[in-house]
Structure 1
Amino acid sequence: MPGAGRRAEPSLDRLDAAVADCRACPRLVEWRERVGREGRRAYAGWDYWARPVPGFGPPDAALLVVGLAPAAHGGNRTGRMFTGDRSGDVLYAALHRLGLAGQAEAVSRDDGMRLRGVRVTAPVHCAPPANRPTPGERDTCRPWLVREIGLLRPTLRALVVLGAFGWQAVLPALAASGYRLPRPRPRFAHGARVLLPAEGDGHGLELFGCYHVSQRNTFTGRLTPGMLGDVLRAAARAAGLPAATP
C-alpha cells in the first residue's frame, strides 16, 4: 500500500511529489513506462512523463472532480491530470464556460492553465492498459485519494465523480476521510446528488455523479456539453463558487 507507515503529508505539494514517485503496482509501472518509451507518431519527440500523475488545482479548492485514471497519451505524456487528451478537452472547456478554468484547452504542464476553486484528480494515478485498472490497483491507490481529500477537507464542499468506476472508488475514500455514508450506499447515476454529513465537527460534502467525459460517451451523445455543464454548475453552487451561466 503506497505510503504505508508514513505520516500524512502536511501539504498537497508534498503529497503530489510523493504520488509521482509511487511504484506500488508492477503492471501499471511496466505499462506507463513502455508507453513512454514507444510513444505515438503524433507525439514524436515528446518527452513522456511516464510516472504517476498527481492531482491538479489549488490547495484551497472547494470543488473536487474525480475521474478514472490518466490516459496513456494524455496525462501519462504531459504529467498533468486531464491534459493532452480529448476527455480533458471536454472537461476543461466545460469548466472554462463556467468561469472555473482560466482557459478552455489544456495541452501541457506549462500552458498557463489555472483552475479557480476546483481541483481535478483520479482514484488511480497511473495510466492503465486499455484504460482499465484492476480492483486491486484501485484499492492500492486509495490511500493517496484519502490523503488528498483529507488535505482539502477544510475548504472542500462538493465533489463530482465522473463515471461508475470512480464512484465505487470514491465512496470508501470518503468514509475513511471522515464523511458519513448513507446505508445502503448510494448507487452511481448521472445526476445523482447525495449529502454526506461529516463525522464529528466540520462541514459536510455534497457528492454528485456524472457520466465520464470519455470519447465513447461524448461522441455518442450519452454525455452532452449541456449535461456536463448542468452537473458542474450545480456542484459549483453547492461548493459556494460563482459559476457563470452559459
Structure 2
Amino acid sequence: MPPGTGWPGDPALPGTPVAHDEAQVANLARGAADVAALDARVSVCRACPRLVAWREEVATAGRRAAFADQPYWGRPGPGFGDPRPEVLVVGLAPAANGTNRTGRMFTGDRSGDWIYAALHRAGYASRPTSTAAGDGLELTGVRIVAAVRCAPPANRPTPLERTTCGHWLDRDLELAAPGLRSLLALGAIGWDATLAAARRLGWEVPRPRPRFGHDARTELRTPDGRTLRLHGSYHVSQQNTFTGRLTEEMLDAVIARL
C-alpha cells in the first residue's frame, strides 16, 4: 500500500522523504519538527534491506491464512498515541501479522490484546481492544513506539538494524521529553534501546548500565535537569503471557507506577 492513499491512520503524505541508509535515517529523524512529521518519515523508511524484504514478503505471499483476504500495511510501524505524552512505551518491533498488517502499533495480535487492556484498566486507553487502525481507539497521556519499526524475521532484529532504527527513537525521546515523566520498556531490547537513546541524547544514565528485569526501575536525567523514571516489564508476547511468566496483575502493577 503506497503512502498517502488514505489507509486509516496513514501518517505519510506524497513527497515524504525516504531514508535508504543509517545516515539518512539520522538526518531525517533530527529534522522532524513534530511527531506527525516523524511518523510520516518512519512509515516510508527503507534503510534496512533485510527488514524491507521480510515485511513486504509477509504482506504479499506470506500472509497468514486467517488474514488472506485482508490488505496488509507492509511498512514500518509509526508511533501511536498522544503527541504530547506523559508516558512513552517502548516495545520491541511490529508483529509480522499484527502491526505489519494493520499499520498501528500492537494492533491485531495477542500482544496488543494485553497491552491495550492494561492501559484501558489504568485509564490511558479509551477501549480495551485494538483490532484495526480505524477502530476508534484513542490514548491519552501515552504514546507507543518500538525499538525497531519493521517486523523482523523471528522477532530478532540484528545489531545493525537496532542501531539504524535507534535514530527514530532518539527523536521520539527528544520530542516527548518536555512533558514526559516516565517510560515503560517492554522487554530487554526495548530497555536497552531506551538507555542507548538516552545516552546518545546526552541524558545522564546510571553506571554501570541498569539491568533489565520485570519491574526494574531506574532514573534518567535530561540536560535541563529533569528526572524521568524508566520502568521495565516483561514483553507482552505470547511466550510470556501464555506461560504465565507475565500475568495481568504483574503488568497492572508496573503500569500503576508510571
TM-score normalised according to structure 1 size? 0.93
Shift of 1:203: 2.1
Q: Provide the rounded CA distance (Å) in 2 between the counterparts of 1:5 and 1:125.
A: 17
Give the secondary structure class of the aligned counterpart of 2:60. helix
Give the secondary structure class of the aligned counterpart of 1:81. coil
1:12 matched residue in structure 2 = 35
Q: Which runs of 4+ in 1 moved over 6 A?
A: none
Q: Deviations over 1:31-87 (max 9, x none)?
A: 000000021110122110000001101111000111100000000000000000000
1:123 matched residue in structure 2 = 147
State yes or no: 1:68 paired with 2:125.
no
Given candidates 158, 165, 173, the residue that maps to 2:189 is 165
Given candidates 169, 180, 191, the residue that maps to 1:145 is 169
Shift of 1:172: 1.0
1:223 matched residue in structure 2 = 246
Q: Provide the rounded CA distance (Å) in 1 between the counterparts of 2:179 and 2:146.
A: 19
Q: Note the 1:19-168 alignment, pairs <5 A.
A: 19-38=42-61, 39-168=63-192
Instruction: Give 2:152's aligned amino acid.
Output: P
Q: Provide the rounded CA distance (Å) in 2 between the counterparts of 1:20 and 1:37.
A: 18
Give the secondary structure class of the aligned counterpart of 1:93. helix
Does the aligned pair in 2 maintain the 1:95–1:232 contact within 8 Å?
A: yes
Q: Which has the higher contact order (CA 8 A, sep 6+)?
A: 1
Q: Which runs of 5+ in 1 are unaligned?
A: 236-246
Q: Provide the rounded CA distance (Å) in 1 between the counterparts of 2:222 and 2:97.
A: 38
Shift of 1:202: 4.5
Q: May I ask how many residue pairs the two structures share in their alignment? A: 234
Q: Deviations over 1:210-229 (max 9, x none)?
A: 10001010011100000000
2:11 matched residue in structure 1 = none
1:181 matched residue in structure 2 = 205
Instruction: Give 1:44's aligned amino acid.
Output: A
Instruction: Give 1:58's aligned amino acid.
Output: D
Instruction: Give 2:73's aligned amino acid.
Output: W
TM-score normalised according to structure 2 size? 0.88
Give the secondary structure class of the aligned counterpart of 1:206. strand
1:244 matched residue in structure 2 = none
Shift of 1:4: 3.6
Shift of 1:5: 3.5
Q: Deviations over 1:155-196 (max 9, x none)?
A: 111001011111111111012234200111101011111111
Q: Provide the rounded CA distance (Å) in 2 between the counterparts of 1:170 and 1:143.
A: 11
